[in-house]
Structure 1
Amino acid sequence: MARNSVNKDETIINHKRMEIINRLFSYLKPYKLKVLVVMLMLIFVMICGVINPYLLQISMDNYIANGDLRGLVILACIMVGYNFVAMIVSIVRMKMMASVTNAVLVNIRQDLYGHIQKLTFSFFDNRPVGKILARVMGDVNSLQELFNNSITNFIPDLLNIICVTLIMFYMNFRLALASVILLPFLLILIFTIETFSRRRWQKFRQKKSNFNAFTHESFSGVRIIQSFATEENKKDKFDSLVVSMMDKFMSAIRLNDLFWPMVELSWGVGSIVVYWYGVRLIKGEGTLTVGTLVAFIWYVGMFWRPIINITQFYNTLITNFSAAERIFEIMDIEPDIINIKDARKMPKINGKVELKNVTFGYENDDIVLNEINLTVKPGETIALVGPTGAGKTTIVNLISRFYDASKGKVLIDDIDVKSVNLESLRSQMGIMLQDTFLFSTTIMENIRYGKLEATDEDVIEAAKAVNAHQFISKLKQGYSTEVNERGSRLSVGERQLISFARALLANPRILILDEATSNIDTTTERAVQKGIEKLLHGRTSFVIAHRLSTIRDCDRIIVIDDGIIKETGNHDELMNIEGLYYDLYHAQYRFLKEGA
Structure 2
Amino acid sequence: MQEEGQLVKKSGTQMNTLKKVLQYIETYRFWMLASIVLAAVTVALTLYIPILVGRAIDFIIDRGNVDFVSITKLLVEIAILAVSTAVLQWIMNTINNKVTYQVVRDVRNQAFIRIQKLPLKYMDAHSYGEIVSRVIADVDQFADGLLMGFTQLFTGVVTIIGTLIFMLTIHPGITLVVVGLTPISLFVARFIAKRTYDMFRLQSETRAEQTALIDEMVGNQKIVQAFSHEDEALEQFDEINERLQNCSLRATFFSSLTNPCTRFVNSLVYAGVALAGALSVIAGGMSVGGLSCFLSYANQYTKPFNEISGVITELQNALACAARIFELIEEEVEIPDDKDAVVLHQIEGKVNLKKVAFSYLPEQKLIEDLNLEVEPGQTIAIVGPTGCGKTTLINLLMRFYDVNAGSVCVEDQDIRHVTRHSLRENYGMVLQDTWLQAGTIRDNIRMGRPDATDEEVIAAAKACHAHGFIKRLSDGYDTVIGEDGGSLSQGQKQLLSIARVMLCQPPMLILDEATSSIDTRTEIKIQDAFAKLMKGRTSFIVAHRLSTIQNADRILVMKDGSIIEQGNHEELLEQKGFYYKLYNSQFAH
1:404, distance to aligned residue in structure 2 (A): 1.0
Aligned partner of 1:196: which letter?
R
The aligned runs of 1:56-135 (5 Å cut-off) are 56-61=53-58, 68-135=67-134
In the alignment, what sits opposite 2:321?
323
The aligned runs of 1:1-40 (5 Å cut-off) are 16-40=13-37
In the alignment, what sits opposite 2:148?
149
In 1, Cα distance between the equivalents of 2:42 and 2:324?
A: 36
Aligned partner of 2:341: which letter?
R
Q: Please state whether the residue corresponding to 2:564 is helix, strand or coil.
A: strand
Cα deviation per residue 1:186-212 (whole Å; 9 max; x = unaligned)? 222222212221122222223222222
1:332/1:526 Cα in 2 relative to 1: closer, same or farther (>3 Å)?
same
Aligned partner of 1:156: which letter?
T
In 2, Cα distance between the equivalents of 1:80 and 1:495?
A: 69
The two structures have a TM-score, normalised by structure 1, of 0.91
Cα deviation per residue 1:148-194 (whole Å; 9 max; x = unaligned)? 12222111221121111122123221111112322212222222212
1:202/1:35 Cα in 2 relative to 1: closer, same or farther (>3 Å)?
same
The question of whether the paired residues in 1 share the 8 Å contact of 2:350 and 2:374 is answered with yes
Which is further off, 238-247 or 504-513?
504-513
In 1, Cα distance between the equivalents of 2:507 and 2:174?
A: 84
Aligned partner of 2:84: which letter?
V
Percent identity (aligned):
33
In 2, Cα distance between the equivalents of 1:435 and 1:220?
A: 14
In 2, Cα distance between the equivalents of 1:318 and 1:360?
A: 43
1:458, distance to aligned residue in structure 2 (A): 3.2
Which is further off, 565-574 or 494-503?
565-574
Q: Please state whether the residue corresponding to 1:16 is helix, strand or coil.
A: helix
Q: Please state whether the residue corresponding to 2:432 is helix, strand or coil.
A: coil
The question of whether the paired residues in 2 share the 8 Å contact of 1:339 and 1:419 is answered with no
In 2, Cα distance between the equivalents of 1:494 and 1:371?
A: 39
The aligned runs of 1:212-291 (5 Å cut-off) are 212-284=211-283, 286-291=284-289
In the alignment, what sits opposite 1:473?
471
The question of whether the paired residues in 2 share the 8 Å contact of 1:20 and 1:325 is answered with yes
In the alignment, what sits opposite 1:430?
428
In the alignment, what sits opposite 2:175?
176
Which is further off, 314-323 or 100-109?
100-109
In 2, Cα distance between the equivalents of 1:103 and 1:25?
A: 13
In 2, Cα distance between the equivalents of 1:178 and 1:395?
A: 77
1:300, distance to aligned residue in structure 2 (A): 0.8
Aligned partner of 1:344: which letter?
A
1:135, distance to aligned residue in structure 2 (A): 1.0
Q: Tell me, which stretches of 5 or more residues in structure 2 are unaligned?
A: 1-8
The aligned runs of 1:186-585 (5 Å cut-off) are 186-284=185-283, 286-335=284-333, 337-350=334-347, 351-364=349-362, 366-585=364-583
Aligned partner of 2:368: which letter?
N
The question of whether the paired residues in 2 share the 8 Å contact of 1:181 and 1:270 is answered with no
In 2, Cα distance between the equivalents of 1:345 and 1:184?
A: 66
In 2, Cα distance between the equivalents of 1:98 and 1:64?
A: 47
1:517, distance to aligned residue in structure 2 (A): 1.5
In 1, Cα distance between the equivalents of 2:484 and 2:448?
A: 17
1:113/1:169 Cα in 2 relative to 1: closer, same or farther (>3 Å)?
same
In 1, Cα distance between the equivalents of 2:525 and 2:363?
A: 40
The question of whether the paired residues in 2 share the 8 Å contact of 1:58 and 1:291 is answered with yes
Q: Please state whether the residue corresponding to 2:267 is helix, strand or coil.
A: helix
Q: Please state whether the residue corresponding to 1:534 is helix, strand or coil.
A: helix
In the alignment, what sits opposite 1:5?
none
1:341, distance to aligned residue in structure 2 (A): 4.8
In the alignment, what sits opposite 1:9?
none
Cα deviation per residue 1:75-125 (whole Å; 9 max; x = unaligned)? 332332232122222223323322332222122112112212222222122
In 2, Cα distance between the equivalents of 1:539 and 1:268?
A: 83
Cα deviation per residue 1:499-541 (whole Å; 9 max; x = unaligned)? 2222343332322111112222222112112223333233322
1:422, distance to aligned residue in structure 2 (A): 2.4
Q: Please state whether the residue corresponding to 2:372 is helix, strand or coil.
A: strand
Aligned partner of 2:50: which letter?
P
The two structures have a TM-score, normalised by structure 2, of 0.92
In 2, Cα distance between the equivalents of 1:327 and 1:42?
A: 30
Q: Tell me, which stretches of 5 or more residues in structure 1 are unaligned?
A: 1-11
The question of whether the paired residues in 1 share the 8 Å contact of 2:54 and 2:293 is answered with yes
Q: Please state whether the residue corresponding to 2:510 is helix, strand or coil.
A: strand
Which is further off, 238-247 or 534-543?
534-543
Q: Please state whether the residue corresponding to 1:181 is helix, strand or coil.
A: helix
Q: Please state whether the residue corresponding to 1:108 is helix, strand or coil.
A: helix
